[in-house]
Structure 1
Amino acid sequence: MRVLFILILLANLGVYALGQGWLGMRPEDEGRDTRRFTQELNPGAVTLTPRPAP
């Protein structure tokens, strides 16, 4: 019973490490181009205005 507990614990730690990206690229991030998030194509086209007071 103790061996089964240790195996389950190690499996859970492995899945957690994979999900956190400690063992390489996270599965959700595969195929994403992270450089695109840092590019602003047309920053002048966006204007922020304050919300009118109620």
Structure 2
Amino acid sequence: MGEAEGQKTRKERTRRQFDNEFKKDAVRLFESGNSSLRQVAKDLGISKATLSN
């Protein structure tokens, strides 16, 4: 099984970094109670695990 063309291996991916304002806004969105953790993460384009952390 070969790797699909255009896909990056785990080592080749760059790690995204989020500034403090983004983090605070993400938490506020979730804590407002209007959306689930899953929905907030999806809306922000991040994983549920990232938001949980």
TM-score (normalised: structure 1): 0.29
Q: Which structure is richer in relative contact order (CA contacts within 8 A, separation 6 or more)?
A: 2
More helix by share: 1
TM-score (normalised: structure 2): 0.30
Which is greater in Rg? 1
